[in-house]
Chains A and B, each alone.
Chain A
Amino acid sequence: MKRIGVFVCHCGYNIADTVDIEKVVEAISHYHDVVYCVDHKYMCSDPGQKLLQKAIMEKKLDGVVIAACSPSMHEETFRNASKEAGLNPYLCEVANIREQCSWVHKDKEVATEKAIKIVENTIEKVLRNEALFPVEVPIKKKCLVIGGGISGIQAALDVANSGFEVILVERNPSIGGHMAQLSETFPTLDCSQCILTPKMVAVSRHPNIKLYTYSEVIDVSGYVGNFHVKILKKPRYVDPDKCNLCGKCEEVCPQIVPNEFEEGMKPRKAIYIPFPQAVPATYTLDAEHCLGLVPLRCGKCKEVCDQDAIDYDMLPEVVEEDVGAIIVATGYELYPKEKIPEYGYGLIPDVIDSLQFERLASASGPTGGVIRRPSDGKIPKTVVFIQCVGSRDPENHLPYCSKICCMYTAKHALLFKHQVPDGQAFVFYIDIRAAGKGYEEFIQRVMEEDRVIYLRGKVSKVFQQGDKVMVWGVDTISGQKIEIAADLVVLAMAIVPNRTAPEIAKILKVQIDEHGFFKEAHPKLRPVESLTAGIFFAGAAQAPKDIPEAVAQASGAAIKAVSLLSSDKLYHEPLVATRDYELCSGCGICASVCPFNAVTITDEKKSKVNEALCEGCGTCVSACPTGAAQLRNLRDDQISEMIKAILRS
């Protein structure tokens, strides 16, 4: 026999006006297993809670029902009070007779009848509730950061500065990401590399950061607090510890290929350093373009290396790490140019994209910071900038706004005008989106002080005519057709997720949205978290972002990771799914419906729930054909008895 106590709250007149409290108490007192039933003016008040606690202790109650307001109001209050009185909090339930009864009905008789039904079905639940304790999970106090752009760098530094170890994995030979390619940053015109490289150096020197460049995450298993990560270290054929950057290898290398860092506007050798400030400061031999490592066909670089740093026999290596949290900062890339043939990109040499323009304007770029057009190296006099190339074009390309193009285009136009004061810059735009600190002022300055001409409209065609690039468009404000003979055309290409994003999403089992950006747990309130516990997002991997936003989100992700790593153990709500191995047939349906990847099928063909990952939705329970799956404190038998209680006449 159970000893159930029921406490009926008047809530002043809120309940008592419509529900006959006396009748409820009378009816419930005679309900099976109820040993104590009492009413009180305000159960949530201090005296109300004291009444509850006293009854639990004196009447030796092993389950209580508080018939009051919605559980979303005071379930926690009453559970805490019960706990203090020595009753397991999961043996306390709230019957909602206010929001879903007294407040929505006027007829006292039927409302009272309904209130009794509500209390009775809650009693049936409590009778079958188990005492539960939070699930404890140990935590590995390390954080993995995937991607070494500004977001990954910031997140890694923040976590490392909080005293936790960080594993930073970057696919390319150097960290720095796209920010290392930029010339100056809007709206302050800080030199991008000058503000980035100290952070890159800080990463390389930080005692808490282990840096894996030219490496990729190939497998992640486990769950929050306990991820097991496999990292593939691609061979760079140069020992970073020995390489002293003398550059002799590069001089003798006969293989010339386009330089990715310079966006193809400058060549590099097969053995190369992406850019002078690269971290780690070392050469990398690109095996794909080397004349041949196996069998060795050239070997010139090794011959000239004084340091004996080159080793053609280096092999790919897989390292394994255990981490508690993961931050994904895989960043963005530009919309593929092949998809926009109408603007002549790739066909007309003087049509370039925004990252190429960044390199042209960068003091360390292929032209030493002098803006020259690619075809003949002349300094252009007329430059046309086209915004929203691929963005905001739901019919043909991408529906979303790439967010940063308005600002960087204005910056490009300004940099050009500062170099070529007698030149003319035109910007084709749809709308100007300059919502940021100092952004609108920057745009105004570009328009008014630097006399950049803004044309509201789209460009229909770009084609070569002699040594000019003809741009046909329309100015929708004056209603005129526009024809500009330009020397250089710069396309503000849409921003798309990094090409590795789908693979990373698959490895991490996190979701991506319809455009391939990582999907946050909640668009408003949980913007840096994934739905998988312990995995966070930073920067443009989640959505197009400018630098300050990316940095802010990176710090946000870092603090989420740090707060997770700071605890010794993770406590998880015990209301999770369970399995009866006798009944389980190992069919795997439960694993297929679980949105949190909390269910696995063991080698013995049994379903297993990871309590740390299970959120307790119960979808697997109703999908289970054998009844092996159950949900703690909301088992099939409980719901079944609740239904009976409601329909008993």
Chain B
Amino acid sequence: MHVAIQAEVEKKKVLNENPRIVAFLCKWCAYAGADLAGVSRIQYPPNVVPIRVMCSGRIDTQFILQAFREGADGVLIGGCHPGDCHYVSGNYKTLRRVKMLKKLLPQLGINPERLRLEWINSSEGKKFAKCVSDFVNTLKKLPPMKEVLSDDDK
């Protein structure tokens, strides 16, 4: 489905009060950044549940697609800043995959805004909290993924 049509379709639907986000966070940077948000007691919406991976390079596109299929309203990928990857270049691989997937998602009827890749280092607790808040706000403007999925079934 074309992006514009997609947007139209989604506009008609009810908005999402409580979006659910699966976050894949790399152990060295983004997960540590999320930990820092906790240590600093920076509050953010509870809509996100993290999965810790060694490197953002571990995140297969099939996990992202599976998450959407299971009804995730958004998928957040947190990796090290370019040049900071603990494994040298895993984050660049992720960047490529995410860019490609973002082009394919509209064809599957999924708004590419539902997928977000963020570079968050271990000292960016604030940034992590802000990413989650922003992402939740974006997703609230989109219909629940479950309805998008049931539409497809019709």
Contact = CB atoms under 8 A, between A and B. Distances in A.
B55 A619 contact: yes
Contacts of B93: 593, 619, 622-623
A127 to B, nearest CB: 15
B71 A631 contact: no
A509 to B, nearest CB: 12
A617 B54 contact: yes
A644 to B, nearest CB: 6
Contact of B22 (A96, A101, A113, A646): A646
A616 B42 CA distance: 31
Contact of B58 (A70, A101, A596, A617): A617
Contact of A104 (B37, B58, B67, B88): B37
Interface string A565-601: 0000000000100000000000000000101100000
Contact of A634 (B37, B53, B61, B86): B53
Interface string A192-204: 0000000000000
Interface stretch (B1-9, B43-51, B111-119): B43-51
Contacts of A575: 54
B51 A595 contact: no
Nearest to A99: B38
B49 A96 contact: no
A643 B60 CA distance: 13
Contact of B54 (A117, A121, A623, A631): A631
Contacts of A448: none
A1 B93 CA distance: 38
B38 A104 contact: yes
A616 B49 contact: no
Contact of A100 (B20, B38, B67): B38
Interface in B57-89: 57-63, 66-67, 70-72, 86-89
A99 B32 CA distance: 10
A103 B38 contact: yes
Contacts of B110: none
A644 B51 CA distance: 12
A100 B50 contact: yes
Interface of A: 70-72, 96, 98-101, 103-107, 110-111, 113-114, 117-118, 121, 511, 531, 575, 593, 595-596, 615-619, 621-623, 631, 634, 636, 639-640, 642-644, 646-647, 649
Contact of B66 (A103, A114, A631, A643): A643
Nearest to B62: A636
B46 A618 contact: no
A622 B35 contact: no
B12 to A, nearest CB: 24
Contacts of A103: 38-39, 41
B11 interface: no
A634 B54 CA distance: 9
A70 B63 contact: no
Given A100-B34, A111-B46, A636-B62, A643 B57 contact: no
B58 A646 contact: no
Nearest to B87: A617
Interface residues of B, number: 42
Contacts of B87: 595-596, 615, 617, 619
Contacts, number: 128
23 contacts: A72-B32, A98-B38, A99-B34, A99-B36, A99-B39, A100-B35, A103-B38, A113-B46, A511-B88, A593-B93, A596-B87, A617-B57, A617-B58, A621-B58, A622-B58, A631-B54, A634-B54, A636-B62, A636-B63, A643-B72, A647-B20, A647-B71, A647-B72
A618 B70 contact: no
Contacts of B67: 643, 647
Interface string B14-41: 0000001010000000011011111101
Interface of B: 20, 22, 31-32, 34-39, 41-44, 46, 49-55, 57-63, 66-67, 70-72, 86-90, 93, 97, 129
Contacts of B42: 104
Nearest to A649: B71
A96 B46 contact: no
B38 to A, nearest CB: 3
Contacts of A100: 34-35, 37-38, 50
Nearest to B18: A110
B58 A643 contact: no
Given A99-B34, A105-B46, A617 B51 contact: no
A610 to B, nearest CB: 15
Contacts of B53: 618, 634, 639
B52 A121 contact: no
A616 B27 CA distance: 12
B147 to A, nearest CB: 14
Contacts of B34: 99-100
Contacts of B86: 617
A622 B62 CA distance: 9
Given A105-B43, A117-B49, A593-B89, 18 more contacts: A99-B36, A99-B37, A100-B37, A100-B38, A111-B46, A118-B49, A531-B88, A593-B93, A595-B88, A595-B89, A619-B55, A622-B93, A634-B58, A636-B60, A639-B51, A639-B53, A643-B63, A643-B66
Contacts of B43: 104-106
A114 B49 contact: yes
Nearest to B25: A100
A72 B71 CA distance: 30
Contacts of B63: 636, 639-640, 643
Nearest to A14: B38
A382 B33 CA distance: 60
A103 B44 CA distance: 10
Contacts of A615: 87
A616 B41 CA distance: 31
B3 to A, nearest CB: 25
